[in-house]
Structure 1
Amino acid sequence: MNGQYTLRKVSTLSIQPIRIFGDPVLRTAAEDVDTFDKELRNLVKDLLDTMRDEGGAGLAAPQLGVSKRVFTFDVDDVVGHIVNPLLEFPDEEEQDGPEGCLSLPGLYFDTVRRQNVVAKGFNEYGDPLQIVGTGLMARCLQHETDHLDGIIFIDRLDSERRKAALTEIQSQDWYNEEVKVKVTPHDSKGVFFKR
Structure 2
Amino acid sequence: MPIAELLEIGTPRTIVRWGTPVLHKKAEAVTDYGLELQHLLADMFATNTAAEGAGLAAQQIGVDLAVFIYDCTDETGARRRGVVCNPEVASPVGADRRLATGDEGCLSLPGAYQELARPEWATCRGYDQFGEPVVVSGGGTLGRCLQHETDHTNGIVFEDRLSRRARKALHVMFERGAADYPPDWPVTPHS
TM-score when normalising by structure 2: 0.80
Q: Distance in 2 between matches of 1:43 and 1:12?
A: 10
Map of 1:132 onto structure 2: 137
Map of 2:5 onto structure 1: none
In the TM superposition, residue 101 of structure 1 has moved relative to its aligned partner by: 1.0
Amino acid at match of 1:29: K
- More moved, 11-20 vs 130-139: 11-20
Q: Distance in 2 between matches of 1:173 and 1:50?
A: 19
Amino acid at match of 1:19: V
Number of aligned pairs?
165
Q: Distance in 2 between matches of 1:20 and 1:63?
A: 8
Counterparts in 2 of 1:108 and 1:87: CA distance versus 1, 3 Å: same
Map of 1:123 onto structure 2: 128
Gapped runs of 5+ residues in structure 2? 1-7, 74-78, 180-191
Decide which of 155, 158, 181 is 2:160's aligned counterpart: 155
In the TM superposition, residue 89 of structure 1 has moved relative to its aligned partner by: 1.4
What's the RMSD between the two structures over aligned residues?
1.7
- Name whichever structure is richer in helix by fraction: 2
Gapped runs of 5+ residues in structure 1? 1-10, 175-195
In the TM superposition, residue 171 of structure 1 has moved relative to its aligned partner by: 4.2
On the 8 A contact 2:111/2:173 being kept in 1, the answer is no
1:78 aligns with 2:80: yes
Q: Distance in 1 between matches of 2:159 and 2:67?
A: 21
Map of 1:37 onto structure 2: 34
Amino acid at match of 2:120: Q
Larger radius of gyration: 1
1:64 aligns with 2:69: no
In the TM superposition, residue 114 of structure 1 has moved relative to its aligned partner by: 1.0
1:18 aligns with 2:15: yes
Counterparts in 2 of 1:50 and 1:63: CA distance versus 1, 3 Å: same
Q: Which has the higher contact order (CA 8 A, sep 6+)?
A: 2
SS at match of 1:34: coil
Amino acid at match of 2:16: R
Runs of 4+ in 1 over 2 A off after TM superposition: 166-174
Q: Distance in 1 between matches of 2:138 and 2:119?
A: 10
